[in-house]
Amino acid sequence: MSETQPYHHGNLRQALIDTGLNALEESGLEALSLRALAESLGVSKAAPYRHFKTKNDLLAALAAEGYQLLADLLENSEEALLGLKRSQIPGEMYRIYGDFALSRPELYRLMFSRLGNSLHSERCRRNAERAFACLGKLAAAIQGDIPDSRKLILSLYASLHGWVMLLMDDLIPPEVGVTTENWRSFALIPKDT
């Protein structure tokens, strides 16, 4: 007989998150089912409930993972960005953020859905705040310190988020000539208060 699987999976919780992230991007949020996830991990349909009280709790965990990935990405890029010429910072910053969102559109969408958004868990909120802090430092580097800078960062963030969403949804009429490659040069950069 072939090796039988051990009764306990070992690290089912993390495996569900990892497989969940893959399945999410491959088949979309609608197609993601706990049962299918469990089966693909060689585990019974009810096993996931030992680790997540409901399906939504798993989705929230996926979103939390997304916020952490984003925060890590921005923190790791910060130093390099701050070393650039001031005029080059915005474009590069938009590129990094946009590449993240457009390379994982389903995850990004989940992060900004009711289910996944940052207010639902302490971990989400903390990582969202980390990402926000990075954007803040970069905005400050772009234009020096300004009063009410958090509002200005929000403006910049709203523009960034809006662009990414429009691109993800293919809502940019093709004849306008804005693509996932060149959109940064058309995105608004805050100039003054």
Partner DNA sequence: TCATCAAAGTTGGCGCCGTCAACATTGTTG
Partner DNA sequence: CAACAATGTTGACGGCGCCAACTTTGATGA
Count of residues in contact with a copy of itself, rule CB under 8 A: 39
Tell me how far apart the alpha carbons of residues 73 and 28 are, in angstroms, rounded to a whole number.
23
Q: Residue 14 interacts with DNA (CB under 7 A)?
A: no
Report which residue type is found at 18.
Answer: D
Pick between residue 50 and residue 150 the one whose CB is nearest to DNA: 50
Show the CA angle centred on residue 172, arms to residues 168 and 176, nearest 5°: 145
Tell me how far apart the alpha carbons of residues 109 and 156 are, in angstroms, rounded to a whole number.
19
Options 117, 126, 130, 133; binder of a copy of itself; rule CB under 8 A: 117
Tell me how far apart the alpha carbons of residues 161 and 21 are, in angstroms, rounded to a whole number.
21
Stretch that binds DNA, among 40-48, 83-91, 125-133, 173-181 (CB under 7 A): 40-48
Q: Residue 36 interacts with DNA (CB under 7 A)?
A: yes
The binder of 8, among a copy of itself, DNA, none, by C-beta within 5 to 8 A per type, is DNA
Q: Residue 137 interacts with a copy of itself (CB under 8 A)?
A: no
Q: Residue 33 interacts with DNA (CB under 7 A)?
A: yes
Residues 6+ apart with CB under 8 A from 38: 16, 44, 45, 46, 47, 48
Q: Draw the binding track, 24-43, toward a copy of itself (x: CB under 8 A; -: no contact).
A: ----x---------------
Q: How far is the CB of 86 from a copy of itself (least distance, A)?
A: 18
Give rounded-to-5 percent helix, strand, coil for the chain: 70, 0, 30
Which residues contact DNA by CB under 7 A? 6-10, 12, 32-36, 38, 43-47, 49-51, 53-56
